[in-house]
Structure 1
Amino acid sequence: MFNLFKKKQNEVELPKVAPMELWEERSYMHVLSDSVDTEDITDAKERIKAIDEVNLIEFNQKDDKSGNIILEYKGEEYGIGFYFGDFVFDSLYSLQKQKIHDEDFKKIEKKTKSFIIYMKFNKNYFDSYHLQLKLITAFFPDTLAVIDESAEKLLSGRWVKLAADSKVAPSADSIFTVQAVYDDKTKKVWFHTHGICRTGFSEFELLDIGQDNANDLYYLINTVANRVLYQNEAIDDYMFLGEFVDGNMIVATTLPWNEAVCKYPKDILGGAADRECSHNTNSRVIFLYLTEDDANNKRYTKPSEVEDRLINNPLYYYSNEQTENMKFMARDRFGLLKEAVSNNHDYTALIKIGLPTTDEEGNIDYENLEHIWFELKEFNEDGFRAVLTQNPYRVPSMKEGDEGEYTICDVTDWIVYTDDMRIEPNTAYLL
């Protein structure tokens, strides 16, 4: 009878999943500025009231200058808390960092105090994230930098102001980071995200990735995270991500981390032993289905087992939502490109334009555009003149080297090349 209490021979005891931390359930950001040093939030209430589409319901503040806010933004109600706390510069070294201007970083090094603002994201997490940035600049127009604790990222204050002032919410990959842990002995990499839990979805991971292939495999986890956020849809069974070079589909699925690690060697980087104190809450590991039969029978392929295919120029799809976000951001910040190139003649720029395509019968399709790069030649009164840099696939009337005039309404993306970097719409604060 005691055999009833013995574990089944093939039963595996799964590691325990821990409850989420506060900074995973909510979005926590720490603000650095000169006004933070003096705890000066004079007129913050009035500046918050002035934010477009904000209806301030309550603004409560205690003697220690901590407090809470209740407001409506775009028809949704939010509760926001805030307080002042100590800041230790050494903590920045563990964070992923945006490009910070040298003069700004020297000021950051001297900061000893931060302003913490935290909130729970609503169902539209893009609006929620955008609102938090708007509130930060309302509290502190002189914001120098922001530590996004939930995403473990250091944000430039210049980027925060640009994003807050934009009509378009920041891109999905502003909400999360992809971190890489390296094992120099095994030459393996463990990828994992931070910042996604606050949206209501899980974090994502890749295990046992070869160090030499890490740059290529990064695009797999980044694509999964972007697709989930833009489509607002978890991976229940599987998700089509793109195509291998041989034309076969890249199909992703996920398992909770505590189930996934049991499919790998016990001593793997990112295994149960590495999760006793962290990375043990709401996170899922990415696997692939190589065939329809695999999907029907839950046969999981580790990405590490097909690295050779994942580094051989796979084609990852952009969702319509991601393309739209890129397009509107490029147009919203096109003036910064124009000003930078006009004032710096050594700068060059590429502009991506959506061209109407032609079907097999010769009919022009204005809905399905081919997005292709042009080299900027000059600006004119109505827009700009640019030269096509490659032959289109589905626009037979045009070829590489063709020159034409276009307007901002044709723009879907752009790149500015300076003397030492490339700048895109999301990093236009560097111009």
Structure 2
Amino acid sequence: MFNLFKKKQNEVKLPEVAPMELWEERSYMHVLSDKVDVEDIDGAKERIQAIDGVNLKEFNIKDDKSGNMILDYKGEEYGVGFYFEDFVFDRLYSLQKQKIHDEDFEKIEKKTKSFIIYMKFNKDYFDSYHLQLKLITAFFPDTLAVIDESAERLLSGRWVKLAAKSSVTPNAESLFTVQAVFDDETNKVWLHTHGMCRTGFSEFELLDISRDNANDLYYLINTVANRVLYQNEAIEDYIFLGEFIDGREIVVAPLPWNVAIAKYPSDIIGGPADRADSHNTNSQVIFLFLSEEDANNGKYTKPSDMEEKLVENPLYYYTNEQTEHMKFMARDRYELLKKAISENPSYKALIKVGLPTDGEDGKPDYENLEHIWFELLEFTEEGFRAVLTQAPYRVAAMKEGDEGEYTVNDVTDWVIYTDEMSIDPNTAYLL
């Protein structure tokens, strides 16, 4: 009868999931600028009122220049808080960093004060993030840099200004980062995101990845986060993410971190010892289902056991929402492409064009486009001339080397190759 009081042999007590931190529940950003140094926010209220789509309902400020405001933006109400704080440069070394101009970074190194602006994202987190950038540039038109504390990333002030004035919201990858923590003894890597929680979704992780394959498996976790954000839908059980090189589907099935770590050795990086004080809130570890039978039986496969296949050029699917966003950003910043090429003859550019595919009736199918790269030859009054860099799969009448004339309305992406780097619409602030 004593067996009734014993734990079941296979019962395991799971670690507890901690409540989210403030910077996970809300989006926290720290602004650096010359005007921040002297706590000069004169005219900020008027500049905020002038933001297109903003209806400022309250603007409260105390003697120490901390405060809060309530505003409507695109039909949603937001509460925003702000205050000044001492800034320590050393903290930047733990952050991911956008490319920063050298002269800007020299100024950043000397900063000792920051302006913190924080807010809770509403259901449209793309608009919420965009609004926060707009408020930053309204407070400080001279913004030098921004530390996105929630995503643990250093943003160039030039990128912030470009993004804030754009008619297109920043892309999904602007909302999160993927960080890597290395174990030099085992040569293993723990990949995890920061910034997802503020959107209302969980963070994502990959455990026990080999260091040699970390760059390849980055695309797995990055694609999962992008898929969730662009489709605005949490992963309930599993999702189809793409295809292995042999054509088998890549099926992702995440588990809460406290359940997932029980499937790994306890001494791995990202294991229980690394969860005592951080990375212990709203986060999921990515696993795979290798078959329908696995999905039906709850048989989870570790990505670390499939690294050989995951580095062999898997095909990850883009959502329609992601493709549309890329298209609108490319068109929104098309004039920056024209200006850069016109002023720098040594620069080369590729432009992605959406070509109507062959319909079943032999006529062009404008509802189903094939997005393919052309090399820019020259700009024309109506648009540009370009040469096809590869044969389309579903446009029989065109082949590699064909030339054509297109307009900005055909553009779905572009990239500029300078003497030092490649620049796309998202990084056009580097031009």
| TM-score range relative to shorter protein | over 0.9
Q: Does 1:305 align with 2:313?
A: no
- Is 1:334 matched with 2:334? yes
Distance 1:2 1:169 in 2: 63
2: CA distance, partners of 1:120 / 1:277: 23
Indicate the residue corresponding to 2:68 in structure 1: 68
Look up the SS of the partner of 1:146 in the other structure.
strand
* Cα distance in 2 between the residues matched to 1:330 and 1:285: 33
State how 1:388-403 maps to structure 2 within 5 Å: 388-403=388-403
Give runs of aligned pairs for residues 406-425 of structure 1, distance below 5 A: 406-425=406-425
Whole-angstrom CA distance in 2 between matches of 1:78 and 1:2: 58
- The alignment status of 1:386 with 2:386, answered yes or no, reads yes
Structure 1 residue 4, shift from structure 2 partner: 4.0
Counterpart position of 2:287: 287
Deviation (angstroms), 1:286:
0.4
Q: Name the count of aligned residue pairs.
A: 431
Letter of the 1:51 partner, please give it.
I
1:95 aligns with 2:95: yes
CA deviation digits over 1:257-304, x for unaligned, max 9?
A: 000000001111110111111101100000011111111111101111
Shift in Å, 1:183: 1.1
* TM-score after normalising by structure 2: 0.99
Separation in 1, partners of 2:60, 2:13: 48
The corresponding residue for 2:209 is 209
List runs of 5+ in structure 2 lacking aligned partners: none
Could you tell me how far 1:361 is from its partner in structure 2? 4.3
**Which residue pairs with 1:371 in the alignment?**
371
For residues 289 and 3 of structure 2, what CA distance do their matches in structure 1 show?
38
Per-residue CA deviation, residues 227-275 of structure 1 (Å, 9 max, x unaligned), is 0000000000111101111111111011000000000011111101111
1:106 aligned residue? 106
**What is aligned with 2:21?**
21
User: Taking structure 1 as the reference length, what is the TM-score of the superposition?
Assistant: 0.99
SS of the residue 1:137 aligns to = helix
In 2: Cα distance, 1:411 partner to 1:338 partner: 13
Q: Distance in 1 between the 2:268 and 2:214 partners? A: 16
Instruction: Give the Cα separation in 2 of the matches to 1:272 and 1:374.
Output: 50
Per-residue CA deviations over 1:39-61 (Å, capped at 9, x if unaligned) read 00000000000000000000000
Query: In structure 2, what is the equivalent of residue 323 of structure 1?
Result: 323
Q: CA deviation at 1:62?
A: 0.3
Task: Give CA deviations for 1:106-159 in whole Å, capped at 9, x if unaligned.
Answer: 000000000000000000000000000000000000000000000000000000
- Equivalent AA in structure 1 for residue 217 of structure 2: L
- Partners of 1:126 and 1:115 lie apart in 2 by 22
2: CA distance between counterparts of 1:3 and 1:119? 53
Indicate the residue corresponding to 2:6 in structure 1: 6
SS of 1:39's partner is coil
Counterpart of 1:352 in structure 2 is: 352
Counterparts of 1:202 and 1:297, CA distance in 2: 24
1:360 to partner: Cα distance: 4.7
Q: Secondary structure at the match of 2:106?
A: helix
- CA shift at 1:9, angstroms? 1.1
- C-alpha contact (below 8 Å) 1:45/1:59 kept by paired residues: yes
Is the Cα contact below 8 Å between 1:359 and 1:394 reproduced in 2?
no
Q: What's the counterpart of residue 182 of structure 1?
A: 182
**Shift in Å at residue 423 of structure 1?**
0.4
2:2 and 2:139 mapped to 1: Cα distance?
66
The residue identity in structure 2 corresponding to 1:111 is K
> 1:45-64 maps to which residues of 2 (within 5 A)?
45-64=45-64
- Is the CA contact 1:25–1:198 (under 8 Å) kept in the aligned structure 2? yes
C-alpha offsets along residues 186-211 of structure 1, whole Å, 9 cap, x if unaligned? 11110000000000000000001111
Find the aligned partners of 2:242 and 2:386 in 1 and give their Cα distance. 31
Instruction: Measure, in 2, the Cα distance between the counterparts of 1:219 and 1:95.
Output: 20
* CA distances 1:154-195 after superposition (whole Å, capped 9, x unpaired): 000000000000000000000000000111211111000000
Separation (CA, whole Å) in 2 of partners of 1:84 and 1:213:
42
Partner of 1:229: 229
Structure 2: how far apart are the matches of 1:375 and 1:172? 27
TM-fit CA distance, 1:7: 2.0
Do 1:108 and 1:144's aligned partners in 2 also have CA atoms closer than 8 Å?
Answer: yes
For 1:204, the aligned partner's letter is F
Task: State the distance in 2 between where 1:200 and 1:97 align.
Answer: 24
Distance in 2 separating the partners of 1:4 and 1:56:
64
- Distance in 2, matches of 1:231 and 1:128, equals 16
TM-superposed CA distance for 1:6, in Å, is 2.9
SS at match of 2:235: coil
CA shift at 1:3, angstroms? 4.3
Which residue identity lines up with residue 313 of structure 1 in the other structure? Answer: N
**Within the alignment, does 1:39 sit opposite 2:39 as a pair?**
yes
Question: Which whole-Å CA distance do the structure 2 matches of 1:17 and 1:228 have between them?
Answer: 22
Distance 1:360 1:165 in 2: 43
Q: Which residue of 2 aligns with 1:118?
A: 118
